[in-house]
Structure 1
Amino acid sequence: MASSPKATADTFDARLVRKLADILTDTGLSEIEIEHEGLKIRVAKTLTAAPVTYAAQPVATAPAPAALAAAPAAEAAPAAARGDAVKSPMVGTIYLQPQPESPAFVKVGDTVAAGQTLMIVEAMKTMNPIPSPKAGKVIEILVADGQPVEFGEPLIVIG
């Protein structure tokens, strides 16, 4: 084997640094450090990730429900007093119908049965149906189709 380049504190050999850089490239390491006869050399390369582009998926949105558009936010409290609010069990995006062109699962004034699907929350590309906790009448829908929702946010009021 050929003799390796020598480096000391007094004499610095650039060939040694190049050889260490070649070792980084050949082995896939991100850094290498050697110490010999009082000389310490560290060679590192900066790893940069390729730029990632995220494109928003188009979401078909329906016009806001009349109850949502007509009722100011201050009236949400009286609506809850007239019935039970069904809250979101997770963070996600709410969908009021199974497909963009389909009719809504429920609308204001509909009578629902316990366990009937009221809407869907999409979380991590999984569609999660939100069932009615009890039988009753839909008093108010508090969210719009395609709206992001938080955990515990009231979605619909059942009376």
Structure 2
Amino acid sequence: MPSSPKAPAEQIDARLVRRLAGILNDTGLSEIEVEHDGLRIRVARTLTAAAPVAVAAPPAAVAVAPAAIEVAAPATVPAIADGDAVKSPMVGTVYLQPQPDSPPFFKVGDTVSEGQTLMIIEAMKTMNPIPAPRAGRILEFLVANGQPVEFGEPLAIIG
């Protein structure tokens, strides 16, 4: 008797979904999608949802229960202090210092002038300086040195 092909929901490997969720955590990405042999798995997170969602397509979509994925999500979204957010103009890796063994460009509380380099974003092996959009005082850094950032992500607050 021939065996019937597995339905897409039965083909989903929970370990693979957990590994993809781990990649999201490790890299700071908001979503990742993998397709192999007609099975597509997309794991995504948003600032308001704590658990990634997996989808198999085509033909059926299956959401994996949040309890099945053990991903450490940020407990809270960082509060943005009163001031102007400096947003990332690109996707890349942020560096708060010019060289690995150098002091940071600025620390919280330092005063900056318009146009001074606040940090660098490396994108495609190119170091891109991120200038201060206006003069003021650094109220908060919202990213860590070496952290991946996305387009439009707030990087720092100038008050």
Normalization by structure 2: what TM-score?
0.52
Q: Map Cα deviations across residues 16-39 of structure 1 (whole Å, 9 max, x no partner).
A: xxxxxxxxxxxxxxxxxxxxxxxx
The DSSP-based 3-state class of the residue aligned with 2:79 is helix
Of 75, 79, 95, the match for 1:76 = 79
Gaps of 5+ in 2: 1-74
**Alpha carbons of structure 1 residues 139 and 99: separation in structure 2 relative to 1, 3 Å:** same
Partners of 1:141 and 1:120 in 2: how far apart?
13
1:1-159 counterparts in 2 under 5 A?
A: 73-77=76-80, 79=81, 82-159=82-159
Partners of 2:78 and 2:128 in 1: how far apart?
28
Gaps of 5+ in 1: 1-71
Q: How many residues align?
A: 85
Normalization by structure 1: what TM-score?
0.52
Partners of 1:73 and 1:108 in 2: how far apart?
21
Q: Is the contact between residue 143 and residue 156 of structure 2 (CA under 8 Å) also seen in structure 1?
A: yes
Give the Å deviation of 1:74. Answer: 3.9
1:134 counterpart letter in structure 2 = R
**Alpha carbons of structure 1 residues 73 and 116: separation in structure 2 relative to 1, 3 Å:** farther
**Alpha carbons of structure 1 residues 101 and 86: separation in structure 2 relative to 1, 3 Å:** same
Q: Map Cα deviations across residues 74-131 of structure 1 (whole Å, 9 max, x no partner).
A: 4424x1xx10000000000000000000000011000000000000000000000000
2:154 counterpart letter in structure 1 = P
The DSSP-based 3-state class of the residue aligned with 1:76 is coil
- Bigger helix fraction: 1
Give the Å deviation of 1:73. Answer: 3.8
**Alpha carbons of structure 1 residues 75 and 151: separation in structure 2 relative to 1, 3 Å:** closer
Partners of 1:146 and 1:106 in 2: how far apart?
15
Partners of 1:120 and 1:129 in 2: how far apart?
4
**Alpha carbons of structure 1 residues 75 and 94: separation in structure 2 relative to 1, 3 Å:** closer
Partners of 2:145 and 2:83 in 1: how far apart?
22
1:103 counterpart letter in structure 2 = P
The DSSP-based 3-state class of the residue aligned with 2:121 is strand
Give the Å deviation of 1:150. Answer: 0.1
Q: Is the contact between residue 78 and residue 142 of structure 2 (CA under 8 Å) also seen in structure 1?
A: no
Partners of 2:77 and 2:94 in 1: how far apart?
22
**Alpha carbons of structure 1 residues 105 and 75: separation in structure 2 relative to 1, 3 Å:** same
Pick the structure with greater CA Rg: 1
